[in-house]
Structures are given as C-alpha cells and as structure tokens.
Amino acid sequence: MNIEDVKKEIRDIVDFPIPGIIFKDLTTAFKSAECMKFFEEEMYNLYKDSGITKVVGIESRGFIMAPILGNKLGVGFVPVRKKGKLPAETIEVSYSKEYGTDTIQMHKDALSSDDVVLLHDDLLATGGTMKAACDLVRKFGVKKIYVNFLVELDALEGRKLFDEDIQVDSLLHY
C-alpha cells in the first residue's frame, strides 16, 4: 500500500458540516486493515528515534491512531478532551475554530517537564484545534513538541500557525 492507494480510500463529503465545506472522511480508510497498517508504520518510522515519551490524541478522531502509535513506540497515550469530559482536575485552553469557539482540557497530571510529546490528530485544516492543543501542552513545560496529522489540506495553510520549534508532519497532502 502507498500514499495514492490510501488517498483512494478517503471519501469526500460535500457540504459537511456546513455548506461550502468538502469534508475528508477518513472513516473509509480506518475500516481498511491495510490503510491502518500504512498509517501505523509511516508514523512509527517518522518518530521512532525522536525520544517521544507520550502521544497526545485530540478528541475524537485523534483517539484512533494516537494510542496505536503510542503502543508501537512503547509510550503512554494522553487524551485532549472537550470541556467537561475528564473526571479529574484539569487545565484548559479556549480557542476560535472554523465553525465557532471551543475549549479543550487535559488532566493536570497528564504530562511533566521531562516529557517529549507527539500531538496527533487526523486532519490539519485551519489548525486552530491543534494550535490550542500545543498551547495546552506548553503549559506543562515539556521538553519538545512534535505535531502529526494523517491528512493536511495545504491550501488552508494551517501549518503556518505553529512556532518554528515545533516539527509538523502530515502523511497525506491535498
């Protein structure tokens, strides 16, 4: 399986979630064992020598590959959730996104200053959610942050939101 084969498995949903948007639906790729193996191996090869200590997944589609990658790297998984979904004491960041505003949270004890963190989500569009997640992770004073997406919509230039010290990688580009 290669990048072009995986792209063929991703369907476009027109006018979702609002008119004028073409949504890249990765669920059609996720149901393919070959695509899942491709994602797992490609991400592992990108980060296997990076010293990552935690993989942080963004709710909800980031929860699909982040724990798989964490397991492959031999490190823990930490969720970033929408406000009110985590049971213990949290820290949070509010942000604007393409369809409104939102707040994300992590448990206060999720990371430490010794961690090297890989933040993962399925798709980079305008970048607001992941930028907020980076801001949230920075509150822990971690050593380094890497950011990863399965898909990047290049024309929206979401990658420009991230500071130069953050390595941003995407497997598929549209």
DSSP state of 49: T
Residue 138 annotated among the catalytic residues of the structure: no
User: How is 116-166 classified by DSSP, letter by letter?
Assistant: EEEEEEEEESS-HHHHHHHHHHHTTT-SEEEEEEEEE-GGG-GGGGS-TTS
Q: Which of 61, 92, 138, 159 is catalytic?
A: 61
Q: Which of 42, 92, 98, 159 is catalytic?
A: 98
Nearby residues of 174 by Cβ (< 8 Å), 6 or more positions away: 7, 24, 151, 152, 153, 154
Nearest Cα to Cα of residue 111 among 160, 55, 64, 66: 55
Residue 4 annotated among the catalytic residues of the structure: no
Token pair belonging to 122: 């399925």
Backbone phi and psi for residue 7, each to the nearest 5 degrees, phi listed first: -60, -35
Residues with catalytic function: 61, 98
